[in-house]
Amino acid sequence: MEEQRENIVLKAVDFFCGAGGVTCGFNKIGIKVLGGIDIDSNFKKTYEQNTGSKFINRDVSNLALEDLSKLLPIQKNDNNLIFVGCSPCQYYSNLKSDKTKSEKGRLLLEDFKEFVLHYLPGLVFIENVPGLETDEGSPLHSFKQSLSDKGYVFDQKILNAKYFGVPQNRRRFVLVATRIANCIKLPKQIRSKELLITVKDAIGDYKKFPQISAGTEDYSNFLHATSRLSEINLERVRSTPKNGGSRKEWSNNKKLQLDCYKNHDGHYDVYGRMSWDKPAPTITTRFIYTSTGRYSHPEQDRGISLREGATLQSFPIDYNFYSSKKGAIATMIGNAVPPKLAEAIGQSLIDNWNKWQNSKQEHEH
């Protein structure tokens, strides 16, 4: 394997890199990430300390196209270069949220497209919420059209991270493109229950993740820290049956029942507990709060800790997150592309690449 890695000549630029989920996954399989670009300077230490790649703190929307080649050792028409554009796109998320804040995020794919059209890298990889593909007015259609005009071919699918070693049910739109071959393939999802990694597999070892209570602080790099719970919310968690229970169980309790759910059925994940024997629900930026989804620990009366959330996102146990605020770290973790998913996509790019090289050699002979 090491020999094969020596021969790999793929390199990447990670646009909207955040805390480094893609870079982490690519590093693991020997794709050299030249640098990550992000508007938020709070990611710099986390990104650089963990990945060893250069962090460029710039707004892609205001970065001149030519300047990128001054900041990173890249040139136009490089067949070995991958541009990664996993822009935060809450705008197309299925979660009902205020769209005005994320309106700007809608245009990030357009900005990324300009860089692709200027540098024409050999390969392109984007990951986003499934709505990017289906929503009317999504910039995806013009993105693909512009790339097709330059000779790129695509493969795109909704992939679930749980089929790629991520202990989490996370559906994502993934697209890969190339202009150096007439076909490119995403990895196949092996839909086997036996291969799924459960919450128990990931965070069930109490030697590794000691039992703690709500509101625990942890100032070490391990960050086994949890959010505080009000007395009433603590009572709600205690009243929710262990291992996958939901707030249904206390819907007739006048004291515990929430006003907004008195005449409304559904949203039973809110205040629910995770199940030991299933992958976790999607880890969002608000996974540390029991009121935002099924984020209570399967057994203990608390929300999951920062480190547990990172582990459910498939970050290595020694990946350090730097910020003094729990919410900021939760955002870093929840917004990331799970490294294991990035690794699988990266490996498929390497496999495609090797196939192209082999068929080129055969033609030459």
- Spatial separation of the C-alpha atoms in residues 146 and 126, rounded to whole Å: 15
Q: What order do you get walking across the sheet with 153-160 strand by strand? A: 54-57, 32-38, 11-15, 81-85, 123-128, 171-178, 153-160
Listed as own residue / partner, the contacts of 185-189 with beta carbons closer than 8 Å and 24 or more positions apart are 185/155, 185/348, 185/352, 186/155, 186/156, 186/157, 186/159, 186/345, 186/348, 187/159, 187/344, 187/345, 187/347, 187/348, 189/159, 189/160, 189/163, 189/164
Helix or strand run (H / E) with residue 2: helix 2-7
Distance of CA 127 to the CA centre of its chain: 8
Known catalytic residue at 86: no
Distances in whole angstroms, Cα of residue 104 to Cα of each of 61, 87, 89, 181, 268: 10, 11, 9, 34, 31
Catalytic residue among 24, 89, 183, 260: 89
Q: How deeply is 325 buried, as exposed, middle or buried, from its count of CB atoms within 10 A (0-12, 13-18, 19+)?
A: exposed
Q: Token digits for 153?
A: 């071919």
Q: Are 322 and 46 in contact (CB under 8 A)?
A: yes
SS3 call for 362: helix
Helix or strand run (H / E) with residue 239: helix 231-239
Active-site residue list: 89
